[in-house]
Structure 1
Amino acid sequence: MSLPKGIDFRPPWPLSSGHIQTMLSSSGVRRQLLPRAAQTVQDGAEPVMVDGGDGVRLTGAYTAQKHRPQARGLAVLFHGWEGSVDSTYVLQTGSRLLADGWDVFRLNFRDHGDSHPLNEALFHSCRIDEVVHALADITRRWPAQRVALAGFSLGGNFALRAALRAPEAGIPLSYALAVCPIIDPGEGLFSLEETAPWFYRAYFLRKWRRSLQAKQAAFPHRQYFELDELKQSLRGLTESLVLRHTDFGSLQAYLDGYSVAGDALKALNIPATILTARDDPVIPVDAFEKLELPPNVELDIATHGGHCGFIRGYDMTSFTDDYIAARFNALL
Structure 2
Amino acid sequence: MTLPQGRDFNPPWPLKSGHIQTMLSSSGVRRTLLPRNAYTVLEGAEPVMVDGGGGVRLTGAYTAQKTQPASRGLAVLFHGWEGSVDSTYVLQTGSRLLADGWDVFRLNFRDHGDSHALNEALFHSCRIDEVAHAVGDIAKRWPSRPMAIAGFSLGGNFALRVALRAPSLGIPLSYALAVCPIIDPSEGLFSLEETAPWFYQAYFMNKWRRSLRMKQAAFPQRQYFELQELKQNLRGLTEAMVLRHTDFGSLEAYLEGYSVAGRALMAMQIPATILTARDDPVIPIDAFEKLELPSNVELDISPYGGHCGFIRGWDMTSFCDDYIAERFNAIAAGQSPFA
Same fold (TM over 0.5): yes
Aligned-pair CA distance for 1:142: 0.1
User: Is 1:69–2:69 an aligned residue pair?
Assistant: yes
Using the size of structure 2 for normalisation, the TM-score is 0.98
Residue of structure 2 equivalent to 1:201: 201
Q: Partner amino acid for 1:112? A: H
Deviations 1:174-200 (A, max 9, x none): 000000000000000000010000000
Question: Where does 1:20-35 land on structure 2 (aligned, <5 Å)?
Answer: 20-35=20-35
Q: How does 1:32-111 map to 2 (within 5 A)?
A: 32-111=32-111
What are the equivalent positions in structure 2 for 1:216-231 lying under 5 Å apart? 216-231=216-231
2:152 corresponding residue in structure 1 = 152
**Match for 1:309: what amino acid?**
G
* Paired position in structure 2 for 1:210: 210
Q: Which residue number corresponds to residue 294 of structure 2?
A: 294
Could you tell me which residue of structure 1 aligns to residue 336 of structure 2?
Answer: none
Report the counterpart of residue 327 of structure 2 in structure 1: 327
Determine the structure 1 residue equivalent to 2:173: 173
Distance in 1, matches of 2:214 and 2:317, equals 31
Alignment of 1:297-308 (within 5 A): 297-308=297-308
> What one-letter code is carried by the residue in structure 2 that aligns with 1:82?
E
Equivalent residue, structure 2, for 1:276: 276
Letter in structure 1 aligned against 2:239: E
Moved over 4 A (4+): none
Instruction: Return the letter of the residue paired with 1:73.
Output: G
CA deviation after TM superposition for structure 1 residue 95, in Å? 0.1
Q: TM-score, normalized by length of structure 1?
A: 1.00
> For 1:286-317, what per-residue CA distance to the aligned partner results, in whole angstroms no more than 9, with x for missing partners?
00000000000000000000000000000000
1:20-48 residue CA offsets vs partner (Å, 9 max, x unmatched)? 00000000110000000001000000000
1:235-261 residue CA offsets vs partner (Å, 9 max, x unmatched): 000000100000000000000000000
Q: Structure 1 residue 145: deviation in Å?
A: 1.7
Distance 1:216 1:263 in 2: 38
1-structure distance, mates of 2:11, 2:161: 31
CA distance in 1, matches of 2:252, 2:237: 14
Q: Deviations over 1:86-116 (max 9, x none)?
A: 0000000000000000000000000000000
**RMSD of Structure 2 on Structure 1 (CA):** 0.3
Is the aligned partner of 1:186 residue 2:195?
A: no
* Equivalent in the alignment of 1:18: 18
User: Distance in 1 between the 2:5 and 2:100 partners?
Assistant: 19
How far has the Cα of 1:148 moved from its partner?
A: 0.5
* Partner SS, residue 174 of structure 1: strand
Counterpart position of 2:141 = 141
AA partner of residue 10 (structure 1): N
Q: Distance in 2 between matches of 1:213 and 1:226?
A: 11
Aligned residue type for 1:69? P
SS of 1:116's partner is coil
Matched, 1:259 2:284: no
Instruction: Tell me the amino acid that sits aligned with residue 270 of structure 2.
Output: I
Where does structure 1 lack aligned partners over 5 or more consecutive residues?
Answer: none
Cα distance in 2 for residues equivalent to 1:241 and 1:262:
26
Local SS of the residue matching 1:276 = strand
**Residue in structure 2 matched with residue 127 of structure 1 by the alignment:** 127
Letter in 1 for 2:126: C
CA–CA distance in 2 between the matches of 1:54 and 1:330?
Answer: 36
DSSP 3-state at the match of 1:266: helix
Give the equivalent residue in structure 2 for 1:312: 312
Question: What's the offset of the Cα at 1:55?
Answer: 0.3
Q: Secondary structure at the match of 2:266?
A: coil
Q: State the identity %.
A: 83
Q: Aligned letter for 1:222?
A: R
Per the TM alignment, residue 144 of structure 1 is displaced from its structure 2 partner at its CA by 1.2
Q: d(CA) in 1 for partners of 2:232 and 2:28?
A: 27
**Aligned-partner Cα distance in 2 for 1:329–1:93:** 13
